[in-house]
């Protein structure tokens, strides 16, 4: 995977996706409908999912059961730059067949009002149509992966042209 600014590869041991989790994700894709994401938001936790994504999949996502295959660190970026980079990152990851990524947005401790500007903007952007075509679900990461300063993103399977076309 070509690395962009702020991108870092996940450890190789974490790249394999558990078969049971992959089946759950595929089932969710089959029954997910077109429509607005179910978005839940508190100061410490954010969660969004396409219609039809079941509670078991969301619970396992929030518990960190999916291995992180790649991640992007947005520290030091402004809102517009960060969202543009997230869109490029998700596109690259989806076309490479990755399913679970981590986006580190920070807790907003250095923002002018001490609020998580990138967290709020990212949650909104991931649930909108522009990125919705790539995203199945997302939620706040476990503390070991950044907690309230990061999000797990479960990507839909790539259904576009094969990236290996000669």
In this predicted model, what pLDDT tens digit does every residue of 13-50 receive, in sequence order? Answer: 444 456 665 655 555 554 444 456 777 877 788 999 88
Residue ranges with strand state E in 16-65: 38-41, 46-49
The whole-angstrom separation of Cα 103 and Cα 152 is 7
Query: What pTM does this model have?
Result: 0.76
The string of DSSP codes covering 101-121 is EEEE---STTSTTSS-HHHHH
* Among the listed residues 99, 124, 82, 114, the one whose alpha carbon sits nearest the alpha carbon of residue 29: 99
């Amino acid at each position: 995977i070509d690395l962009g600014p702020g991108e870092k590869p996940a450890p190789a041991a974490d790249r394999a996706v558990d078969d049971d989790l992959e089946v759950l994700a595929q089932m969710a894709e089959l029954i997910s409908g077109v429509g607005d994401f179910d978005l839940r938001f508190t100061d410490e936790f954010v969660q969004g999912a396409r219609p039809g994504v079941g509670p078991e999949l969301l619970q396992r996502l929030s518990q960190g059961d999916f291995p992180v295959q790649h991640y992007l660190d947005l520290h030091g970026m402004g809102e517009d730059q960060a969202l543009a980079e997230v869109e490029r990152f998700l596109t690259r990851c989806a076309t490479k067949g990755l399913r679970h990524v981590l986006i580190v947005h920070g807790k907003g401790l250095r923002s002018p009002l001490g609020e998580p500007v990138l967290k709020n903007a990212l949650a909104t952007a991931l649930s909108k149509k522009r990125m919705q075509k790539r995203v199945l679900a997302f939620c706040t990461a476990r503390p070991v992966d950044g907690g309230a300063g990061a999000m797990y993103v479960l990507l839909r399977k790539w259904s576009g042209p094969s990236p290996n076309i000669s």
